[in-house]
Amino acid sequence: MAKDFEGLIQELTHEKDQLILEMDGIKNKFLEEVASFCSVWFDKEAIALIARKSDLAKNLGIEKLKLLKAEVRSLIKNAKNVVAEHMDKEEFWWHQQDKGDFSSYSYEHRPVERIHEAMRYICGKLGVIFSHDGLVKLKQTGFIKDYDVWTKSGRPYYPYGSPLPDDIVDIYREYNSLTMKVQEIDRRMVQVKKEKEEISVVDLWESL
């Protein structure tokens, strides 16, 4: 009995489409969870900064503190957009990259590290707010490296590691596991198409 190549291709295509839809849902869930986390983190870290720099904060006076708090509240309100700016990019989401046949595409080996790096740039936004009144440093001073400077490569950057919790990172890991499944489908698709082409050429030869 001849192999049903078209049926196999349709089956693999459907399976891939379903996984792509699932990946898109996981992406949206991840971005929502990160935004919710950032809203809380911005607020808690602002309080922690004020506590750590209490002498400087006290000297700012009521009016400046009010302005500072208003900026923090604005950042909290805008958390979803800030997260999208740094994480809703094609490079983070394999299924949105227009690669055609994904089977030959080598996916990033350390995608979770990339997410943590983006998170530190997101958190760096808070440092910009507190830098205006000297509570946070954005530039190195002197020859000795200052590990409290909230900057990397000229961009605001949280210097103390990514605060993103494991339960949210696990959502991104789930996404990555699906990329492997889709890549396997693509490899199978290439094999099926190759086999179909080989059979077609043989059939043509034998018909001559």
The model's pLDDT over 124-138, given as tens digits with 9 standing for 90+, comes to 999 999 998 888 988
Orientation angle between helical segments 5-52 and 79-87, nearest 10 degrees: 130
The model's pLDDT over 172-181, given as tens digits with 9 standing for 90+, comes to 999 999 999 9
Global confidence as pTM: 0.86
Q: How far is it, in rounded angstroms, from Cα 27 to Cα 30?
A: 5
Question: What would the two tokens of residue 28 be?
Answer: 């949206």
3-class DSSP state for residue 146? coil
Q: How far is it, in rounded angstroms, from Cα 130 to Cα 71?
A: 9
pLDDT at 104: 41
Q: How far is it, in rounded angstroms, from Cα 151 to Cα 116?
A: 15
Question: What would the two tokens of residue 81 be?
Answer: 């957009």
More confident residue, 109 or 157: 157
3-class DSSP state for residue 152? strand
Residue found under tokens 């046949």: 101
Q: Are 131 and 137 in contact (CB under 8 A)?
A: yes
* Mean pLDDT of all residues belonging to the chain: 88
Q: How far is it, in rounded angstroms, from Cα 191 to Cα 106?
A: 18
Q: Residue 155's closest CA among 54, 85, 80?
A: 85
Amino acid (one-letter) located at 129: I
pLDDT at 147: 58
